[in-house]
Amino acid sequence: MSEENNYRLLAVAVCNSIVWNKKYKMYYCSKDWSLKQPFQYIGLYDDKSIRAMGRVENCITADYDINAGELFVHRGQDPITKEEQPVTESQKERLLEIFREEDEGPVEIYSGYKFYLLDENDFTEMDFCKGSGRGLRSCQYLNLQDYFGGTRPENDSSQVIAELLEGKTW
């Protein structure tokens, strides 16, 4: 993995679903949405700032049969290599929890979505402000190394990175 990929974050506009995304430490999008660049982190963007970030654990395409209460996992994928990776029982349980409490969410997500599950132990809230006057409409890749100011993180945990980005703008 290249050094740049180690610190690439995909900032995604979540707006109405920010509370829900933070609660479940995940991001979801259409299964047809194709992301061109590899990334290790997702930043949840709302109101001109990245409000939380986490390391991507797995990108899972799945459907849920609400009547049968059944989960259908189609594939897990590493967000950097794009290679297929296994979906753990713990990840399946997290998806089931999301689907079972889906009525709290902003849209129906039973079918046609992929879910970026963020590492529950490597997720942090933050306030990394966007410097321009325009908001983020969809997504933007950020190489976080560009914002470290020459300081190398002691490790690549979300918490350490968020502390380095504190008070900076992008």
**Single pTM value for the model:** 0.91
pLDDT tens per residue, range 4-24: 668 999 999 998 889 999 999
pLDDT at 3: 65
50 part of a folded domain: yes
170 part of a folded domain: no
pLDDT tens per residue, range 28-86: 999 999 888 999 999 999 999 999 999 999 999 999 988 888 999 999 999 888 899 99
89 part of a folded domain: yes
Query: How many domains would you assign to the chain?
Result: 1
The sign of the torsion formed by the CA atoms of 120, 125, 129, 130 equals: positive
pLDDT at 150: 82
Domain that holds residue 101: 3-165
pLDDT at 1 over 70: no
Cβ neighbors of 48 (< 8 A, separation 6 or more) are 129, 130, 135
SS3 breakdown of the chain: % helix, strand, coil, rounded to 5? 25, 40, 35
